Structure 1
C-alpha cells in the first residue's frame, strides 16, 4: 500500500487542499482516489486590535507554511519520499471579510474578518438598495461602510479580495475567486455565474458623489466556477508555500473557495434539493435551492455552491456551548461523589437519556444564548433554564430541552424556507459535535426539520478535504463531468451513511417546544436587560 502511495506522490497524482479556518489552518494531501494520505495543521487565533478582529499577514503565512511543512514531513516519514510536485492545489478560508490593496500591492488596513459587526449602516442600506440581503460580514458591506466612514484608504484601493483570494493571488499572480467564495463578496447573477451587473451599476451610482478613482468592477476579483483552471504556482509562490525550496513551480490551482463551499463538497451537498447542517459551537444549515426565494429574509443568507447554484443558509451563533457547560456540571458532581467518569461515556449517557423524555421535553424551556443571537435579534445572550411548577422535571426532559434549544434559533430560519417558501429537501447531511453520540443528535435534528438526516463516516474530514477534492476535480474530471457527478462517482460511491427519518411524535413535540421557545423570548430579553 505504502509503495503505491509513494508512486502516486512521485508521479504527481496527488491533490492538496489547505483551509484557513478561524482557529486552525489545515493541509490535507489526497491520492487519485481522493483518500487523505497526509496532513498537517497549525493552530491560530484572531486578535482584537483597535476594535477590529484581525489576523496579521505574518500570521497568515507562518500558519500556511507550518501546516504545509507538517504535511510534507508526514509524507517523508510515512512514505520515504520528498514532496517536490503535486497534481493540483486549492486554498479555502473563512468567507467574507475585507482585504484592500493599493497599486503597489500593499495592504491598506489590517484584514477585517467576518467576525466584525461594524457595518450595520452599510448592511441596512445595501439590503434596501439591492432588495437582497447583505449581511454585515459580507465584503461589499465592509467596503461600503469604509466609504460611509470617509476612511482615507478608500481612494487608494486598486484591489479588494478575501483571505482565500489573497493567498491564491500571492501564489499564482491571479486575482480570482471561486463563485461560492465570490457570493459572499457581492451578489451573484445565477445565469452568468458572476457578479450581478445591475447591482454593480446601482452601487457605482450611489458612490458617484464621492468621486473615487475606481469603479467597483475594476477592483473585484474575477469569478470562476469549480473545475476551471485558476492559474499556476509561480516560482515566488512555490518558495512562499514551501520555505525549503523543494516544491516546484507550475502546479495548477483550482479557484479559491470559502469554507461554506468546501463544507458542501466534503458532505456531498452540492446538488439541488440537498443540504448539510453543521452543529457544534454554532449551527448552520445550507440548502441548495431549485429557485430563488420569493422575498428578502434578513434571517436567511444567500450564497452559492462552488458551481454557482443558489444556496440558502440559516445560521445560529449558539448551539452546544451551554449544553456542554451542563455536561461539565454533571462531571463535577461525579467527581465530588468520588466517581471518575469518562467524558465520552458521560456525553453518550446523557444524550441517550434525552430519547426517554416526553416528546415536547415535559414543558421545560431553555435558551443556550452564550452570545448574542441575530436570528432572534439579540445583541447579547444570557443562558437560561426555565420551568413552571407543573413541568415534568426529570433528567430525560432536562437533557432533551437542552438538545432542542441548541437547534431553536436555526429552526426559525429553516421554517421560513420549509414552511413559508416550500423549499423541497430530500435529505440533509449532519456533521459536527452534536452528532458524535450515535443516533441522538440525528433523531433530534430529524424531528426539528421534519426531514431525513444522514451522517456519513467521512463527515469529520472537514473543509481542507473539501478544497482538496475541488483541486482533484480540476485535473481529474472527465469531459462534461459535473461536480455533482464527480463526487457521486469518484468520492462518495462507496461511502457508508446512516439515515434517520423523522418520528412524527418528535416532529409534533418539537413544534410544541418552539411555541414555548418563541413565547419565552421576552424572558430572555428581560434577562439581558437585567443581568448586566
Structure 2
C-alpha cells in the first residue's frame, strides 16, 4: 500500500489542503484514495492589540510555512520521498474579518478577525438598507464601520479580502474567493453565483457623500465556484510556501474557501435538505436550504455552499465549556478519593449516565453561558445550575441537563428555521468533541432537532481535509460532474456511518426542557446584572 502511495506522491496524483483555524493551522495531503496520507500543524493564538483581535502578518506566514514543512517532513519519513509536486492545492481559513490593502499591496491596518464585535452600527444599518441580515463579523460590516468611524486608511483601499483570499493572492497573484467564502464578505445572488448587484449599488449610494476614490465592486475579489481553476502557484508563491525551495511552481489551485464550506464538504453536507452540526466550545448548525427564507432573522446567518447553494447558519457562542468544567470537578473528586481515573473513561461514564435520566431531565435547569450569547441576547454570561425542591436531582439527570443545555441556544435558532420557516431536513451530520462518546451526543441532538443524526468515521478530519477534497475535485472531476456526485462516489461511498433516529419520548422531553429554558432566562439576566 505504501508503495502505491509513494508512486502517487512522486507522480503528483495528490491534493494538498491547508486551513487556518482560530487555534491551529493544519496541512493535509491526500492521495488517490482521498484519505489523508500526511499532515502537519502549527498552533497559534489571536492577540488582543489596541482593542482588536488580530494575528500578525509574520505569524500568518510563519504558521503556513511551518505546517507545510511538517507535512513535507511527514511525507519524507513515511514514504522516503522529497515532496516536489502536488496535483492541486487549496487554502481555507476562518471566515469574515477585515484585510484591506493599498495599491502597492501593503496591509493598511492590522488584520481584524471575525471575533471583533465592533461593527454594531454598520451591521444594523446595512441589515436595514439591504433587508438582509449582515452580522457584525462580516467583511462588509467591518468596511462600512471603518467608513462610519472616518478612519484615515479608507481613502487608500485598493483591495479587500479575507485571510484565505490573502494567502491565495500572494501565492498565485489572483484576487479571487470561492463563493462560500465570498458569501461571508457580501451577500450573493443565487442565480448568478456572484455579489448581489442591487445591494452593491445600494452600498455605493450609501457612501456616495464620502467621495471615496473607489466603488465597492472594484475592491472586492472575483467570485468563483467549486471546480473552477483559480490560478497556479507562481515561482514566488512556491518559495513562500516551501522555504526549502523543493516545491515546483505551476501547481493548480482551487478557489479559496471559508471554514464553513470546508466543514460542509468534510461531512458531505452540501446537498439540499442536509445539514451538519459542529459541537465543541461553540455550537453551530448549517442547513442547506431549498428556498430563500421568508424574512430577515437576526439569529440566522445566510451563507452558501462552495457550489453556491443557500445555507442557513444557527450559531451559538456557548456549548461544551461549562459541561467540561463539571467533568473536571468530578475528576478532582476522584483524585481526592484516591482514584486515578482516565479522562476519556470519565467522560464516557458520565455521558452514558445521561441516557439513564428522565426524558425532560427531571425538572433541572442549567445555562452554560461562559460568555455572552447572541441567540438569546446576552452580552455577558454566567454559568448557572438551577433546581426546585421537587425536581428529580440525581447524577443521570444532572449530566443530561448539561448536555441538553449545550444545544439550548442553538435549538432556538433551529426552531426559527424548522417551525417558522418550515425548512425540511432529511438528516444532520454531527462532528466535534460532543459526539466523541458513541451514541450519547447523537441521541440528544436527535431529540433536540427531531431529525436523524449521523456521525462518520472521518468527521474528525476537519476543514483541511475538506479543502483538500475541493482541490482534488477541481483536477479529477469528470465532465460536468457535480461536487455532490464526486463526494458521494469517490469519497464517502465506503464510509462507515452510524445513524440515530429520534425517540418520540425523548423529543417530547427535550421540548419540555426548552419551555423551562426559555422561562428561566430572566434568572440568567438577573445573574448577569447582579453577580
TM-score scaled to structure 2, two decimals? 1.00
1:2-151 matched pairs, under 5 angstroms: 2-151=2-151
The whole-number CA distance in structure 1 between the counterparts of 2:129 and 2:18 is 36
Q: String of CA shifts for 1:345-378, please: whole Å, max 9, x gaps.
A: 1111111001111110000000000000000000
**4+ residue runs over 4 A deviation:** none
5+ residue gaps in structure 2? none
Preserved CA contact (<8 Å) 1:171 1:238: yes
Which residue number in structure 2 is paired with residue 426 of structure 1?
426
Q: String of CA shifts for 1:66-109, please: whole Å, max 9, x gaps.
A: 00000000111110111001000000000000000000000000
Which residue number in structure 2 is paired with residue 327 of structure 1?
327
Which residue number in structure 1 is paired with residue 226 of structure 2?
226
Which residue number in structure 1 is paired with residue 521 of structure 2?
521
Preserved CA contact (<8 Å) 1:161 1:220: yes
Q: String of CA shifts for 1:125-178, please: whole Å, max 9, x gaps.
A: 000000000000000000000000000000000000000000000000000000
SS in 2 for 1:458: helix
The whole-number CA distance in structure 2 between the counterparts of 1:103 and 1:236 is 19
Tell whether 2:292 aligns with 1:298.
no
Aligned length: 531
5+ residue gaps in structure 1? none
Q: String of CA shifts for 1:490-531, please: whole Å, max 9, x gaps.
A: 000000100000000110000000000001000000000011
The whole-number CA distance in structure 2 between the counterparts of 1:242 and 1:393 is 58
The whole-number CA distance in structure 2 between the counterparts of 1:84 and 1:394 is 60
1:446-461 matched pairs, under 5 angstroms: 446-461=446-461
Which residue number in structure 2 is paired with residue 512 of structure 1?
512
SS in 1 for 2:486: helix
SS in 1 for 2:73: helix
Which residue number in structure 2 is paired with residue 440 of structure 1?
440
Which residue number in structure 2 is paired with residue 152 of structure 1?
152
Q: String of CA shifts for 1:240-275, please: whole Å, max 9, x gaps.
A: 000000001000000000000000000000000000
The whole-number CA distance in structure 2 between the counterparts of 1:394 and 1:78 is 50
Tell me how large the CA RMSD over aligned residues is.
0.4
The whole-number CA distance in structure 2 between the counterparts of 1:14 and 1:237 is 19
Q: CA deviation at 1:2?
A: 1.3
The whole-number CA distance in structure 1 between the counterparts of 2:335 and 2:78 is 41
Q: String of CA shifts for 1:176-218, please: whole Å, max 9, x gaps.
A: 0000000000000000000000000000000000000000000
SS in 2 for 1:287: strand
Preserved CA contact (<8 Å) 1:32 1:472: no
The whole-number CA distance in structure 2 between the counterparts of 1:286 and 1:166 is 25
SS in 2 for 1:202: helix
Q: CA deviation at 1:33?
A: 2.0
1:119-518 matched pairs, under 5 angstroms: 119-518=119-518
Preserved CA contact (<8 Å) 1:133 1:297: yes
